[in-house]
Structure formats: structure tokens, C-alpha cells
Structure 1
Amino acid sequence: MNFVRFCEQHGAEHVTADLAVAWATQTGRGSREEVYLARRLDTVRIFARHVQALDPATEIPPEDVLSRRYRRIPP
């Protein structure tokens, strides 16, 4: 719902990749971790795939944007 609100605030008529990346990298929680940002963008990708069935102008953000590398903390 936050992403939808973000789109409405920006007057977007369609979901775009640029808008999705802007939302994913803007966090209120203060977390700048790459994994967290990538997960936010993954959420938009899933949403965009569904919306694209209703609105062909919807862009699905590319998979190579925002690295999903998980960095395991050594034991």
C-alpha cells in the first residue's frame, strides 16, 4: 500500500521502473542495507506483474537493479 500511495503522490498513471526504484530506495526506517532495498523492489516487481495484466503500460523493474546479494555474518 505504501508503494501505491507513493505513486498517487507523484501523480503516476502507470507503474514505471524509475518510480519503483525511487520508492524502494527511499525508506522511512533509515535502513540503507542493499538486501533490504532489494527486497522492497522485489515486492514492487511482484505487484507490477499482476498490474501489467490490467495495464499493459506497466513496467516491471529489471532483475539486475539493486543487488540481492546476501552477506552472511561469519560465525
Structure 2
Amino acid sequence: MSAHSSFSTWIDDYLAVRRRAGFDLKVAGNQLKQFAHFAEEVGHNGTLTIQLAAEWASSSSTGRRLTAARRIEVLRPFAAYCRQFDPATEIPPQYLFGPAHHRLTPHIFTEEEVQDLLTACDELYPPGGLRGASCRTIFGLIAATGLRISEATGLTVSANLRTP
């Protein structure tokens, strides 16, 4: 692969390698193709630079820093791939636009909200069926113990606790 190949060619090769390794990369692949299109539109010829990456990342229609940070997150592994063939390739810093993900503030349910949720389980279809009872049991268990949903649904009966 020559240092003067278009980004489209490099991206196709990169995606083929990663997909052979088992990665799907549907969203990332589309974003990388958008990057290649952007580079062609601005007339960029040459190596991948931090400046080009920053211009593309901040060119989204939303203009949000989070979107730019996520674009950089997609571009970094591709830049590392390119560096194998073109040592002049610049890999954008991970936090160029800040973190790409932010943790949502958890909602602590009030006793009234928990009671409303448990009552609503009784309205699930079919009336009087196992679905409503199961949901009510799981939600009640979570509310009473603080378990995560995966912990509650992953519970099993221990062999030494089974009755004969």
C-alpha cells in the first residue's frame, strides 16, 4: 500500500482486515467512509494528520463535542493501521475533544414509583399470566436487594440448597 493511496482504498483494506478478525464495524465503517469523502472534498492529499482528523470530527451537523469525540474514537484505530504503511501518519489523541462516552446519572426509584411499577406488572398481557408475575417478582427482588437486572435474572439454585 503506497503512502499516496486514497483514504477510501486504505479504509476498504482496513475494514477487510478487521472483519476477517470477527469485527462487524457497520457504524465505524460508515463513519470512516464519511471521513474519506470529507478528505476528498477538502482536497487533502497525503498522510492522515491530527489537523485533518480534528477538522472532520468537528464538521458534523450537530456540532457537539461528544460527536466529535466519538468520531476521533473511530478514527484512532484506523490511524494506527495506516501508520504501519506510512510512518508519518499522526494518531489523534484519545481525548482531543474530551471523553467519547459519559455515564448517565442513575435514577433512584422512590417507594411510590416502585409500588406503581409492581402494580403495573399486574396489567401485563395475558391477564393473570406468568409474565406479570415474573416481572413483579424480578422487579420486587431488585428493589428489595439492590441487585442489577443481570444479577437477578442470572440467579440459580445452588446444589447444596436444593431439598430432596
- Give the one of 56, 65, 69 matched to 2:96: 65
Task: Please list the CA deviations of residues 22-68 of structure 1 after superposition, one character each: whole Å capped at 9, or x if unmatched.
Answer: 1111113x251x32221111111111111111111111001231111
The structure whose residues are more often helix, as a share, is 2
Match for residue 36 of structure 2? 4
Identity %: 36
CA-based RMSD of the aligned residues comes to 1.7
Length, aligned pairs only: 73
Gaps of 5+ in 1: none
Which structure carries more relative contact order (alpha carbon 8 Å, separation 6+)? 1
Q: Rg larger in 1 or in 2?
A: 2
User: What TM-score do the two structures reach when normalised by structure 2?
Assistant: 0.40
Aligned residues of 2:49 and 2:90 also touching (Cα < 8 A): yes
Q: Secondary structure at the match of 2:68?
A: helix
User: Runs of 4 or more off by more than 3 Å in structure 1?
Assistant: none
